[in-house]
Homo-oligomer: A and B are copies of this chain.
Amino acid sequence: MEGDLQRTLGRNLRQYRLERSLSQEQLAEVLGVHRTYMGGVERGERNLTLKSVERIAAALSTSPLDLLS
């Protein structure tokens, strides 16, 4: 349903981050995005664009589809 994709993305990102014991700020730096934006994405509040998903996936050396599954 509406918002599922962004919630899934947020869950995946948070898991990735916690597995590596990174702070949101540290992960934000890796992803090249702003700290507060990062938090919003993790909380599933952000309705990202396809290009944004691609950028994040690339920074994590994974595929966009993985982040959305």
A25-B28 Cα distance, complex, nearest whole Å: 42
A2 at the interface (CB under 8 A from B): yes
Is B51's CB under 8 angstroms from A49's CB?
Answer: no
Interface size class of A (residues with CB under 8 A): 10 to 19
* Contact indicator per residue, chain A 1-33, by CB within 8 Å of chain B (1) or not (0): 111111001000000000000000000000000
A53 at the interface (CB under 8 A from B): yes
19 pairs of residues in contact across A and B, judged by CB atoms under 8 Å: A2-B51, A2-B54, A2-B55, A3-B54, A4-B54, A5-B50, A5-B64, A6-B50, A9-B50, A47-B49, A47-B51, A48-B49, A49-B49, A49-B50, A50-B53, A50-B68, A64-B68, A65-B69, A68-B68
